Amino acid sequence: MNLILFGPPGAGKGTQAQFIMDRYNVVQLSTGDMLRAAVAAGTELGRKAKSVMDAGELVADDLIIGIIGDRIGEADCANGFILDGFPRTLAQAEGLDVLLAEKGLTLDAVVEIRVPDEALFARIEKRAAETGGTRADDNAETLKNRLAVYHEQTAPVLGYYEKKGLVDTVDGLQGIEDVTADITRVLDGKR
């Protein structure tokens, strides 16, 4: 099962990805983790990405898609994968479609965890209070900036997948267990 977890920062994608990994025996793929691993491994794509990152620039879509292509070819992805935080733009979504087609793979689902912005601010404030603000992104100003980027660049990707009939939306305002149950119903229906 190959899927994308979609939603704004703080929606609970990471929490739900862990459950999905355990239940469906799939691998969570984070583009940041994959970039760091490719750099550490010294792969050709990793070397290219390192020079871009060392210059403080954003890694180009073709490099990220190439790294994802390498990663999904590894044995632990044989049962499937969860993309969390990718694609972030329409160009990345289109590039992912090309990559998957070249590998004879498809996306089985795009699960949107929908949470209104106001609720996200409340969650960040609560998490910061509970953890003593140990996460650098646990503040309203950072979340405001991340949400602006999300709404401007990433939210349009949802429409791209809706047109393909791949999107199932779950209410992210529910308790964690209820969100998990809704995602399970969606994914079990795709099997």
Instruction: List the CATH number of the domain containing 125.
Output: 3.40.50.300
Residue 23 annotated as catalytic: no
What is the C-alpha to C-alpha distance for residues 90 and 36, in angstroms, rounded to an integer? 24
What's the pTM value of the predicted model, to 2 decimals?
0.85
Closest CA to 31 of 95, 75, 111: 95
pLDDT digits (tens), the chain, 191 positions = 999 999 998 899 989 999 999 999 999 998 877 888 888 888 888 888 888 777 767 678 888 898 899 899 999 999 999 998 789 889 999 999 999 999 999 999 999 999 999 999 888 888 778 877 666 666 788 888 888 888 888 889 999 999 999 999 999 999 999 999 999 999 999 98
Q: 45-66 as b/e, with b when 16 or more CB fall inside 10 Å? A: bbebbbeeeeeeeebebebbbb
Residue 144 annotated as catalytic: no
- Is 41 a member of any domain? no
Closest CA to 76 of 125, 122, 26: 26
Number of domains in the chain: 1
- Is 60 a member of any domain? no
Q: Can you give the residue range of the structural domain that contains 174? A: 2-26+79-190
Residue 135 annotated as catalytic: yes
